[in-house]
Chain A
Amino acid sequence: MADIVLDKVSKSFPDGTVAVQDVDLEIADGEFVILVGPSGCGKSTTLNMIAGLEDISSGELRIGGQRVNDKAPRDRDIAMVFQSYALYPNMTVRENMAFPLRLAKLDKATIDQKVDEAAKVLELTSLLDRKPANLSGGQRQRVAMGRAIVRQPKAFLMDEPLSNLDAKLRVQMRTVVSRLQKKLGTTTVYVTHDQTEAMTLGDRVVIMRGGAIQQVGPPQELYDHPRNLFVAGFIGSPSMNFLHAAVEDGKLRTALGDVPIGDRIRRELEGADAPRELILGIRPEHFEDAELIDDEARARGMEFTAPADIVESMGSDKYVYFTVEGQRASAAELEELAADAGADFSGGGGNLVTRLSAESPVQEGEDRRVWFNLEKIHLFDPSNGRNLTLHEGRSAGTLGD
């Protein structure tokens, strides 16, 4: 077991592609870290560099305090799980799991004992003599996990290990992975595309974009205090609503009405080069049916009226889609997010996604009065995506002073 430190690690491929740029990351011993980001942002490349499968172009990689830049994968003592499982087709399940131990020249009795143990943990005992071709996807996935855990390596590296499973199996395996990691306490770096995996599995989440780290932190912190537009839009499902906001007379003119701003934000916006146009972000759950709001809450937010297009009742709450008029929010980050998710990220002149209490009597087609929480609003500078509401790493809404 060991900690993993990436110190200004970069990777450029021979064809000139810079896949990873100056990544600084310290992963503590036993920590479970998730790498997420849109396709092509350099997650796999980062993982492969840690594994030693790709050379590091510049920077330093330390595992257990030791520089390993020039070490071959076999000398790094790490185990990797692949999306394709990468099981050896000519070997049985037992042979697959024993393979790393055989290469490490352990004696037969020890190998058998370790394989049996791992097989028991992963419920593979009855499948030990099968070939991978005769296993189901979930079983193959477990064999791949088994092959990783038998050798008790310093770290597990997993590249989208559950992506090839169907939704139900994925949920099951997620808990298996989580329990296994807690039990073994092995440092783990886990790459995923999946929001839920990112939010539920890891101690910390690393969000990458275009080869650079955007933000690192516990899932809840990334959710509540996104450092920039990209992180705000990437984390959360349904994702944050983004609206165009114009700064006028010490207020923000938006499709939801004029939003007042506090002293601190005002001061930020007073500079000569301060942006005159902002992007306002607000998550679906920070809206509420105005009927259901008490006076105390009413004071912390503001209200608007809009026609409800679609009402989706989820039982515990209702997703209501409103149409609001106004200019579209636009920024490079939003376009990138939209391209990755295949969804439309620019609210304002489009749909507003809200999550209201189940008690709300809202009907499709009617005009509804809706309240939203000013303390939970984020303001972003469209030119660089920076979250202006963030103060000492915390987000305090527009009213903070």
Chain B
Amino acid sequence: MSRRAPLSENKKAERKLGWLLCAPAALVMVLVTAYPIIYSVWLSLQRFDLRFPDQREFIGLENYVTVLSNEFWWTAFGVTMLITVVTVAVELVLGMGLALVMHRTLVGRGIVRTAALIPYGIVTVVAAFSWRYAWTPGTGYLANLFDGSAPLTERASSLAIIMLAEIWKTTPFMALLLMAGLALVPEDLLKAASTDGATAWQRFTKVMLPVMKPAILVALLFRTLDAFRVFDNIFVLTNGGNETSSVSMLAYNNLIRGLNLGIGSTMSVLIFITVAIIAFVFVKLFGTAAPGSDDGERR
């Protein structure tokens, strides 16, 4: 919208009411999130190691220089990015397949949905342990399948297993979000496409996907933000060994194990900034696809 008409009195009043209605929720959010965020930023600007509490002092951006010039940070960042991109991409494809199956299933829809959601319902740490035991040579059924090798002791295979565990766990969630999107596609539209001469694949790509776009973007946003903060699976499966640490693992190790509040907070702030950037990019993408926008995708 290039030109914006001045708001009428009515519109203004409506806006005011909108803000008033949001206020309580916004207030609670500020209390529970803004304080820790601001406190982290404050900590990240100090040299603050609990092992040497008397050396605490304000050092500006020095911690950021330390972290950003550290190769461990960048390795962890690369690992996190890799896990995020691969798992979200695979989950999108698998989740879409699963959503289509669940959408089409006419009998026992409830049971199929419940069954598909079980992995998501299991506590991540518990699931991670079961994966770890499965891949442990000698006792694990999966490790035995591969001649008793020890995949969790090598970097590439460890990462693969971490990603597998992540995908196994969150694909159902993706599928559920996508299924909500599928429900948005009117039956008549697909019938029209059929008579217009579209094959099943063309109906999917040219009719279903464009109509579902907002739902797909929501699903991708949720999952990307989630995946970027991957922690539990790595913690249980490799504990960050063989350069499989994610940025969250690294922050945890510095904060809790290393007791270095300054460096740990710096990492947390950097993770926060990255996540904010990802969210911003997605929201920009939404802008042109959201229902009711100028593009006229609303019906």
Contact = CB atoms under 8 A, between A and B. Distances in A.
Interface stretch (B42-50, B122-130, B185-193, B228-236): B185-193
Interface in B170-211: 186, 188-189, 191-199, 202, 206-207, 210-211
Given A86-B186, A86-B189, A103-B202, A79 B195 contact: yes
A26 B206 CA distance: 36
A322 to B, nearest CB: 46
A134 B192 CA distance: 20
Interface residues of B, number: 24
Nearest to B192: A86
B197 A74 contact: yes
Interface string B263-299: 0000000000000000000000000000000011111
Contact of B192 (A82, A130, A133): A82
B190 to A, nearest CB: 9
Nearest to A147: B196
Contacts of B189: 86, 88
Contacts of A326: none
A88 B191 CA distance: 11
A90 interface: yes
Contact of A90 (B186, B194, B202, B297): B297
Contacts of B195: 51-53, 73-74, 76, 78-80, 157
Interface string A185-214: 000000000000000000000000000000
B297 A104 contact: no
A88 B205 CA distance: 12
Contact of B194 (A14, A74, A134): A74
B28 to A, nearest CB: 36
B194 A52 contact: yes
Contacts of B186: 84, 86
Interface in A139-191: 147, 157
A72 B296 CA distance: 32
Contacts of B296: 89, 130-134
A82 B191 contact: yes
A147 B197 CA distance: 12
A224 to B, nearest CB: 36
Interface in B205-222: 206-207, 210-211, 213
Contact of B188 (A72, A73, A84, A90): A84
A111 B213 CA distance: 27
Nearest to B207: A88
Nearest to A74: B197
A99 interface: yes
Given A82-B188, A131-B295, A134-B296, A88 B210 contact: yes
Interface in B38-92: none
| Number of chain A interface residues as a range | 20 to 34
A59 interface: no
Contacts of B196: 74, 79, 99-100, 103, 147
A90 B207 CA distance: 8
A229 B92 CA distance: 58
A362 B45 CA distance: 99
B106 to A, nearest CB: 8
Given A73-B194, A84-B188, A103-B196, A133 B298 contact: yes
A79 B202 CA distance: 17
A53 B198 contact: no
Contacts of A134: 296
Contacts of B197: 73-74, 100, 103-104
A134 B186 CA distance: 18
A72 B198 CA distance: 10
Interface in A52-86: 52-53, 72-74, 76, 78-80, 82-84, 86
A78 B196 CA distance: 8
Nearest to B106: A14
Given A74-B197, A88-B210, A80 B192 contact: yes
A89 B189 CA distance: 9
A131 B210 contact: no
A156 to B, nearest CB: 10
Contacts of B194: 51-53, 72-74
A213 B64 CA distance: 81
Nearest to B210: A90
Nearest to B202: A103
Contacts of A130: 296
A103 B202 CA distance: 9
Contacts of A90: 210-211, 213, 297
Contacts of A103: 196-198, 202
Nearest to A133: B296
Interface of B: 106, 186, 188-189, 191-199, 202, 206-207, 210-211, 213, 295-299
19 contacts: A48-B191, A52-B195, A73-B194, A74-B195, A74-B198, A80-B192, A88-B189, A88-B192, A88-B206, A89-B210, A89-B297, A99-B193, A99-B206, A100-B196, A130-B296, A131-B295, A131-B297, A132-B296, A157-B195
Given A80-B195, A86-B191, A103-B198, 6 more contacts: A73-B195, A73-B197, A74-B196, A89-B211, A89-B296, A103-B197
Q: Which 10 A-B pairs have the closest CB atoms?
A: A131-B296, A90-B210, A86-B192, A133-B296, A100-B196, A86-B188, A73-B194, A103-B197, A74-B197, A80-B195
